[in-house]
Chains A and B, each alone.
Chain A
Amino acid sequence: MAVTYSLSRPAAALVAVLLLSFGSVAARHIEDQAEQFFRSGHTNNWAVLVCTSRFWFNYRHVANTLSVYRSVKRLGIPDSHIVLMLADDMACNPRNPKPATVFSHKNMELNVYGDDVEVDYRSYEVTVENFLRVLTGRIPPSTPRSKRLLSDDRSNILIYMTGHGGNGFLKFQDSEEITNIELADAFEQMWQKRRYNELLFIIDTCQGASMYERFYSPNIMALASSQVGEDSLSHQPDPAIGVHLMDRYTFYVLEFLEEINPASQTNMNDLFQVCPKSLCVSTPGHRTDLFQRDPKNVLITDFFGSVRKVEITTETINLQQGSEIMESSYKEDQMDEELMEPLKYAEQLPVAQIIHQKPKLKDWHPPGGFILGLWALIIMVFFKTYGIKHMKFIF
């Protein structure tokens, strides 16, 4: 029995379910599978992969990005749905003793450059402005299609960034930087412009956790290679090439991703376990409070792959109209049908409620009167010591 899932019109996505019954397996089990099947509400996948570092000694950042590129491509996202930004060309760098390759493993074990890398933004095109324009879609009309992020409100987007960063910023090419606030605002714009359904943000840089702590838009899951105050470290020193080939976090993420195939049922919780402190030296962090679903129900392939929902089953599945799954997956549709008054897109999720989940304590300030009193005391002591006539020395 085949279950096909129409990808074409999300708003009118009435699922065509054909069930053919053959054996006598427990119906409950089949329904679990079906539940898995409808977990994600996305119909297409996009990836924006950014390396912000130039220069030969930053070989590892290019290798990081290319390794993620390799994985997402292998798992099914086509080049037309990947925006790859590489600030430098390591494969053709004259210092590269192995031209036209970028290795992620020592001893030339894994060449992540491959045969068909399609770099959309390269060298000096990798700027903060271009990156934000790609995210928010505010691109000049002449921009070719390959340089655009043409996502919609049913898109799951993977955003991977690597480079040199600090507390609250990521450096672009030694000349400018993007702050975590700018990034958070860009994601909010994307949300308001209905440019994503769910967003997975991964960053491998020093103090990477600082980059996602200002996010406030819904449906964002974020991972970082290190906590605030920590450095992310490099891995795979290769004397023949003369540089470090990868950063630790991405190296282990790549190892993890190499095990994934389009049918894998590995979920996000497994990704969170990648590169524990014993391997990474830094402490990888993740943030899920903005995300609506439970990470254990989110497949890796929801973001890293472009998996068409096709499943062959021999069982009959009875889908109840009012079931939990349907409700959560198609909340918008139901609302549209039930409440005739249109809601603004941005209000559809309790964003404000999410943001204020943990209200931050304000920094303590001494009361105004205290400062004033201190000044008065200083002035009093001054006059006691020098007398009023010395005022002329001050003014």
Chain B
Amino acid sequence: MGLLSDPVRRRALARLVLRLNAPLCVLSYVAGIAWFLALVFPPLTQRTYMSENAMGSTMVEEQFAGGDRARAFARDFAAHRKKSGALPVAWLERTMRSVGLEVYTQSFSRKLPFPDETHERYVLGEWGVPGPRKHLGGRGLGWVSPWRVSWGQEAQWEGKSLVGIGGLEKGGASASYHSYTEVPPPYCIQMVSGTNVYGILRAPRAASTESLVLTVPCGSDSTNSQAVGLLLALAAHFRGQIYWAKDIIFLVTEHDLLGTEAWLEAYHDVNVTGMQSSPLQGRAGAIQAAVALELSSDVVTSLDVAVEGLNGQLPNLDLLNLFQTFCQKGGLLCTLQGKLQPQDWTSLDGPLQGLQTLLLMVLRQASGRPHGSHGLFLRYRVEALTLRGINSFRQYKYDLVAVGKALEGMFRKLNHLLERLHQSFFLYLLPALSRFVSIGLYMPAAGFLLLVLGLKALELWMQLHEAEVGLEEPGGAPGPSVPLPPSQGVGLASLVAPLLISQAMGLALYVLPVLGQHVATQHFPVAEAEAVVLTLLAIYAAGLALPHNTHRVVSTQAPDRGWMALKLVALIYLALQLGCIALTNFSLGFLLATTMVPAAALAKPHGPRTLYAALLVLTSPAATLLGSLFLWRELQEAPLSLAEGWQLFLAALAQGVLEHHTYGALLFPLLSLGLYPCWLLFWNVLFWK
């Protein structure tokens, strides 16, 4: 009631905001961080519970006993794969048909924007012939996929990296397994093509209007054959049951996620990523849920579940609850983010352990990558998760029957579903497999952080406003602002140049690396992927030289007002972006807010500029990515050396760009077109003259 229209009160409020601004900002920031840390403690984290009536209990009988069969299938599959060097399509078709499925294949091809070094998805040498690739000092192929390393599997990870380096020598050999019918033109060398095989088990007594998917992604290396074996054995078992009300699709995709993406796009008859693929001959209605399986050993010690999908999308919590209940029923050891779940939530240990898991989840979700082929299903609002069999050094091992039984139980319960999974949460954080934090409880953390930007923006606005009215009211300006020349208002024109220039930088960062890779490879001794990453870094660093450019373009008489206005705009811009990001992908929004907000709030052209500059550089999006990588490996108890971290960073950049082009991951455009220009504005403010 008149709080803002009453001049007296308004002045009091303004004084409050101006005088208490710094403590309020600090308080709000600390509150945000503290709130986030408090999320792992029991009042905020709750036990998960099944909300879906149709999947209410684990009361189904698992009869799967085809362990031997699964192992035999896996052996055959591995042998055929070794023989043919690619996915043994004919064998798969034959086998699926023999267990009684309707079998179809789908061939697809995809032109990558540049070769995928981490998955060795380049096909022909530089000039259209297979041959070893140019690279800088043996670095190129030594890159290891940064996010895909399984935990507790250092040995395997080392092995993988060795395989990568081994691939260096046998570049020609690894190139040969993709069959080509035509000789590609010199610049179309990043064509990846493959074939997906899928079999549909028709529900005997129901219309084919709904379906479930069990999928196994097969990469170029010879992992996952046990998963294929289990898939086939389960298909044979499921075929013998008559209680299916939904069709079940057994899908084996080539080239990991590329195949999954091609299949999903063809299934839904859309083309969002420029994939070329043959249309699907057989369909089975709307997919209700999907489970992706990754198994590379005959026995497992634990099952790890991955839920984070493309752009941080998550499946409905009920699907995870379902998995967890069957884990408990079968006595399986199940992990989330590779961490066992803490038993004791009353003492400090449990929540601390939960915090590690939570941070890992936040980092993985923030990366926006599909962590397993389930991640691509989520784009089509198909609830999906990935189960990974981990074989570490534990005493007690489970064979394929135990895993198969858990899967059978899950599918039978999913079969009972009558509508899409919708009863439980879609937006949540997981500090443990059986604990969750709902969106209503974690959002305030991001809210407090964004409040800092709001308070700062309010302060700047008041200072600018006060300067205008300052002459009429000489008594009412105790703020920290120095007396300003009264002549002009804040011309929007003075802001146009820095905004445009920084946005142009962002656009260049987005477009140039991929566009200019061929120019770079012709003039420098680098491979395409390296060219992309190096161009990326070069343009990123070039942005730092901006203030010297813009201050010449901008000519205002009042420098103070100028930077204040620019900072005001930048603050609002940042707050809006972070707010939007936090709504769609809380983890990313929170991570960026935690790092960018303090530096953004502090940036000004006075005071200890070098300190501010260092802080700004340290909290720039790229530095955040680097820091996240270190934190991520630290939390997995596999700390990185500086050099390794740098390699991982480069690989992550390449992967980020590649995933944007192949799957439509939004992290790269978001950073290059949104946050990087915004960050440049603060850099601009800092070096305002």
| Residues on A facing B (Cβ under 8 Å) | 55-57, 92-97, 99, 237-240, 242-244, 393
Binary CB contact string for chain B from 409 to 432 against chain A (1 if under 8 A, 0 otherwise): 000100110100000000000000
Taking the closest CB of chain B, its distance from the CB of A54, in whole angstroms, is 8
The answer for the CA separation of A244 and B57 in the assembled complex, in Å, is 10
Contact partner of A95 (CB less than 8 A), chosen from B53, B61, B243, is: B243
Whether the Cβ atoms of A95 and B60 lie closer than 8 Å is no
For B60, the closest partner residue in chain A by CB is A242
Taking the closest CB of chain B, its distance from the CB of A246, in whole angstroms, is 14
Neighbouring B residues of A393 by C-beta, 8 Å: 1-2
Whether the Cβ atoms of A94 and B416 lie closer than 8 Å is no
Whether the Cβ atoms of B203 and A239 lie closer than 8 Å is no
Whether the Cβ atoms of B59 and A99 lie closer than 8 Å is no
Contact partner of A243 (CB less than 8 A), chosen from B59, B204, B242, is: B59
The answer for the CA separation of A242 and B245 in the assembled complex, in Å, is 13
Whether the Cβ atoms of A94 and B61 lie closer than 8 Å is no
The answer for the CA separation of A393 and B1 in the assembled complex, in Å, is 7
Whether the Cβ atoms of B245 and A239 lie closer than 8 Å is no
Neighbouring B residues of A242 by C-beta, 8 Å: 59-61, 243, 412, 416
Whether the Cβ atoms of B245 and A93 lie closer than 8 Å is yes
Q: In chain B, residues 302-344, which have Cβ atoms closer than 8 Å to a Cβ of chain A?
A: none
Known: A239-B60, A243-B59. 20 other contacts (CB 8 A): A55-B54, A56-B54, A56-B416, A57-B416, A93-B245, A94-B204, A94-B205, A94-B244, A96-B243, A97-B242, A97-B243, A99-B242, A237-B59, A238-B59, A239-B59, A240-B61, A242-B59, A242-B60, A242-B243, A244-B59
Neighbouring B residues of A237 by C-beta, 8 Å: 57, 59
Taking the closest CB of chain A, its distance from the CB of B207, in whole angstroms, is 9
Whether the Cβ atoms of A57 and B245 lie closer than 8 Å is no
Whether the Cβ atoms of B245 and A94 lie closer than 8 Å is yes
The answer for the CA separation of A165 and B434 in the assembled complex, in Å, is 30
B395: interface (CB < 8 Å):
no
B181: interface (CB < 8 Å):
no
Q: Count how many chain B residues have C-beta atoms less than 8 Å from C-beta atoms of the other chain.
A: 22
For A95, the closest partner residue in chain B by CB is B245
Contact partner of B418 (CB less than 8 A), chosen from A55, A99, A240, A243, is: A55
Neighbouring A residues of B243 by C-beta, 8 Å: 94-97, 242
The answer for the CA separation of A55 and B61 in the assembled complex, in Å, is 20
The answer for the CA separation of A240 and B206 in the assembled complex, in Å, is 19
Tell me the interface secondary structure of chain B in the complex. Answer: loop
For B413, the closest partner residue in chain A by CB is A242
The answer for the CA separation of A239 and B243 in the assembled complex, in Å, is 13
Taking the closest CB of chain B, its distance from the CB of A248, in whole angstroms, is 16
Report if A239-B418 is in contact (Cβ < 8 Å); known contacts: A93-B245, A94-B243, A94-B245: no
Binary CB contact string for chain B from 1 to 20 against chain A (1 if under 8 A, 0 otherwise): 11000000000000000000
For B54, the closest partner residue in chain A by CB is A57
B557: interface (CB < 8 Å):
no
Whether the Cβ atoms of B203 and A94 lie closer than 8 Å is yes
For A240, the closest partner residue in chain B by CB is B61
Neighbouring A residues of B416 by C-beta, 8 Å: 56-57, 95, 242-243
For B418, the closest partner residue in chain A by CB is A55
Whether the Cβ atoms of A95 and B2 lie closer than 8 Å is no
The answer for the CA separation of A243 and B1 in the assembled complex, in Å, is 60
B56: interface (CB < 8 Å):
yes
The answer for the CA separation of A238 and B59 in the assembled complex, in Å, is 7
Neighbouring B residues of A95 by C-beta, 8 Å: 243-245, 415-416
Binary CB contact string for chain B from 169 to 213 against chain A (1 if under 8 A, 0 otherwise): 000000000000000000000000000000000011110000000
Neighbouring A residues of B54 by C-beta, 8 Å: 55-57
Taking the closest CB of chain B, its distance from the CB of A51, in whole angstroms, is 16
The answer for the CA separation of A240 and B53 in the assembled complex, in Å, is 18
B641: interface (CB < 8 Å):
no
> Considering residues A95, A96, A240, which has the most beta carbons from chain B within 10 angstroms of its beta carbon?
A95
For B205, the closest partner residue in chain A by CB is A94
